[in-house]
Amino acid sequence: MSVKPASRNIALAIAAHPDDIEFMMAGTLLLLREKGFEIHCLNVSSGNCGSQTLVAAAVRRIRRKESLEAARILGARDHPGFADDLEILYEVRSLRRLAAVVREVRPSIVLTHSPVDYMEDHMNTCRLAVTAAFARGMPNFVTTPRRAAVEGDVTVYHAMPHGLQDPFGQPVRADFFVNIDRTLATKRAALAAHASQKEWLDASQGMDSYLKAMEDTSREMGRLSGKYAVAEGWRRHSHIGFCAEHSDPLREQLRGCWVNAPRGRQRA
* Range 211-237 average pLDDT: 97
List, for residues 66-115, the tens digit of each pLDDT value: 999 999 999 999 999 999 999 999 999 999 999 999 999 999 999 999 99
Band of the pLDDT at 209, cuts 50, 70, 90?
confident
* Range 214-226 average pLDDT: 97
Contact 146, 101 (CB under 8 A): no
List, for residues 149-171, the tens digit of each pLDDT value: 999 999 999 999 999 999 999 99
Give domain status of residue 267, yes or no: no
Q: How many CB atoms lie within 10 A of CB 56?
A: 15
Q: Mapping DSSP to helix (H, G, I), strand (E, B) and coil, where does residue 117 land?
A: coil
Query: Is pTM, for the whole model, over 0.75?
Result: yes
Predicted local distance difference test score (pLDDT) of residue 5? 55
User: Would you call 146 exposed, middle or buried from its count of C-beta atoms within 10 A (0-12, 13-18, 19+)?
Assistant: exposed
Give domain status of residue 199, yes or no: yes
Q: Is the pLDDT of residue 6 over 70?
A: no
Predicted local distance difference test score (pLDDT) of residue 267? 46
Q: Is the pLDDT of residue 200 over 50?
A: yes
Give domain status of residue 159, yes or no: yes
Give domain status of residue 264, yes or no: no
Q: What is the CATH number of the domain that holds 128?
A: 3.40.50.10320
Dihedral angle, C-alpha 231, 235, 236, 240, nearest 10 °: -170
Give domain status of residue 268, yes or no: no
- Which range of residues forms the domain containing residue 181? 3-259
Q: How many domains does the chain have?
A: 1
Predicted local distance difference test score (pLDDT) of residue 81? 97
Q: Whole-angstrom Cα distance, residue 203 to residue 183?
A: 29
Give domain status of residue 265, yes or no: no
- Helix, strand, coil shares of the chain as percentages rounded to 5? 40, 20, 45
In this structure, what are the phi and psi dihedrals at residue 187, rounded to the nearest 5 degrees? -60, -45
Q: Whole-angstrom Cα distance, residue 254 to residue 256?
A: 6
Give domain status of residue 194, yes or no: yes
